[in-house]
Amino acid sequence: MQIAVIGGGITGLAAAYRLTQILPDASVTVFDKRNRLGGVLETLHRSGFEIEQSADNFITTVPWGVHLCKELGLEEQLVQTNPLVRRTYAVRKGKLHLLPDGFLMMAPTKLYPMATTPILSWFGKIRAAMELFIPARKDDVDESMANFVRRRLGREVFERLVEPLVSGVYAADMEKLSVLATLPRFRDMERKYGSLITAMQQQLKANKQAHLEEQSGARYSMFVTLRGGLSVLTETLAEKITSRRNYAVRLDADVLPLQKDNGRWTIEVRDNTHAAAEKPMTFDAVIIASAANDTALLLQKSSPVIAERLAAIRHEGTAIATFAFDAKQIKQEFRGMGFVVPAIERSPILAGSFSSLKYEHRAPAGKTLIRVFAGGARAPELAELEDAQLIPLLFQELKRMIKIDGEALFSCASHWAGTMPQYHVGHRERVREIEALVQADKTLALAGNAFHGVGVPNCIESGIQAAEKIAA
C-alpha cells in the first residue's frame, strides 16, 4: 500500500508515526513545502537561550501529548511549569495586575479574590456575582464567546478577563468565536448546574477530594514542555519515521491540487528549490495534515464540495517576538508566568510570557527571556510586518507595561501567516458536514488543527485518528 502524508507538522508526523506501527510494510512518503519538518513548531538555540518560535508548551489534561512523549522515550525530558509563578497577569490601563486567584479561563472558583481584584469595578463585581441568579440556557444552539460571557458574567468580566485570556490562546475575534467549538464545557456547566460559579465550586470540591484520594497528588502541572524544546518531539518522530526503509520524507515539496482517477491519487509536486514540477506519482491513500485553506486548495479538483466547505474555515496569521536580557535589566519581580492584554487596551500585543521564569532552563543563569504574541483576528497585518518594524513596535509596547532598562541583548521574531484556525459560530456543524463527506472515501483522511482543537495534543490525536482510518 502506498500512502502520501501531506504536511510535516506535528499532525502529519503523528500520522506517519502511527502508520509505522499499524502498517509497517506500507510505503509512506511525508511531503512538506517547507525546507524542514515540524510545521509551526520550531525551537532555536542561541547564546545559551532556548527560544520557541510558536507553541512553547502543551496542556496535559488532553492526554495525547504526554502519551506520545512517553511512547517515544521522552518522559524524562518533560518539564513542568515553575510552581512559584503559576499565575497570570492581565493588563489594565497599561499596568500588570494578577488575575483573581482561582479565575479559570471563564469563571471564578473563589469569590474573595474576585471581590478584591483591582481589575474590575464594583459594578463589574456585582454584575459577575449575579451570575448565580441568571436563568440558564438549556438548548444546544451555538453562540459567540462574547455573547455567552456577557450574558452570564457581564461586560466587564468579558472585556477585562475572559476576552484577553481566550484571545491569548485562540487569537480570534470573540464576537465570532464559537463557544460550543472552543470551550463547550462551560455551556455544559450552565446546563447542568444553572450557573458557572456554582459549577466551578462543585468541581473544585470534587477535584480536592480526588486529589486527597490520589495520595501522590497530580503527576504533571497543567502545562509541560520538553527540555531541549518542542522540536525534540518533531525530530524524534522524524527519526522514528525515516528509520524505516519504506518510509520517506520529501522537503521543499509543494504538493499541487490532487487528482483522483480509478480509485488512485495522483500527486504532482513542485520542488521549491528549483521551482520545477516533477513527474506525477500515484498513491492508494492520502492523509492531508495542513491548514484548512491549504487542504481546500489540494482538494479543489478531486473533491470540490469538500474543498468549498473547508475554505469556510479561516486561519489567521500570528507573530512571536522574543527578547533576551540580563536579569538585572528587568526592574520588576513577577509572581506570574506571563500576561494577557485585553482588546480594550488597544495594544499590538495579545499576550506575553516570561519564558525563562515559566521554564527556568530556557535562559543561562543571570539572564531573562521574554516573548510576546501578536496578530490574530485582532491585528492580522502584524503577522506580515517586517521584523525591522515589528520588533521595535512590540518592544516599545513591552516597555510600556514592564520596567525594562535599556535594549535587549538580542531579539528575534517568527511569522506564522494563515496558521491559527478560527472556530466561528457554527464550526461544529461545518466540521460534522466535512467529516460526513470525507468518511465515505476510505482512501482519504483529513487531520490538523482546523477541526477539533488547536493545541498540540489535539493535533497529535487527529493525526493518529487519520492513520487509523486509512489502515482500517
Ligand X SMILES: Cc1cc2nc3c(=O)[nH]c(=O)nc-3n(C[C@H](O)[C@H](O)[C@H](O)COP(=O)(O)OP(=O)(O)OC[C@H]3O[C@@H](n4cnc5c(N)ncnc54)[C@H](O)[C@@H]3O)c2cc1C
Could you list the residues that contact ligand X (CB under 6 A)?
A: 6-12, 31-34, 39-41, 54-58, 253-255, 289-291, 294, 298, 318, 320, 416, 419-420, 448-449, 454-456, 459
CB-closest chain residue to ligand X: 39
Helical axes 292-299 vs 304-311, angle rounded to 10°: 160
CB of 120 to ligand X, least distance (A): 27
Q: What minimum distance in Å lies between the beta carbon of 147 and ligand X?
A: 25
Nearer to ligand X among residue 33 and residue 160 (C-beta)? 33
Q: Given the complex with ligand X, which of 114 and 286 has the nearer CB atom?
A: 286
CB of 6 to ligand X, least distance (A): 5
Rounded CA-CA distance 296/298 in Å is 5
Q: Are 114 and 108 within 8 A, CB to CB?
A: yes
Q: Is 96 helix (H, G, I), strand (E, B) or coil?
A: strand
Q: Phi and psi of 182, rounded to 5°?
A: -100, -50
The least CB distance from residue 195 to ligand X, in Å, is: 30
CB neighbours of residue 84 within 10 Å: 11
d(CA 354, CA 352): 7
Q: How far is CA 300 from CA 258, 308, 364, in A?
A: 8, 8, 49
Nearer to ligand X (CB atom), residue 100 or residue 448: 448
- Identity of the residue, 114 or 269, whose beta carbon is nearer to ligand X in the bound complex: 269
Nearer to ligand X, 298 or 467 (CB): 298
The Cα 237–Cα 280 span in angstroms is: 27
Alpha-carbon distances, residue 251 vs 17, 31, 248, 255, 270 (angstroms): 17, 6, 10, 10, 11
Q: How far is the CB of 26 from ligand X (least distance, A)?
A: 20
Category of 418 on φ-ψ map: left (φ > 0), alpha (ψ -120 to 50) or beta: left
**Sign (positive/negative) of CA torsion 419, 420, 421, 425?**
negative
Nearer to ligand X, 157 or 288 (CB): 288
Smallest separation (angstroms) from ligand X to the CB of 126: 35
CA dist 472 and 469 (Å) reads: 5
Least distance between ligand X and beta carbon 416 (Å): 4
Q: Which is nearer to ligand X, 9 or 108 (CB)?
A: 9
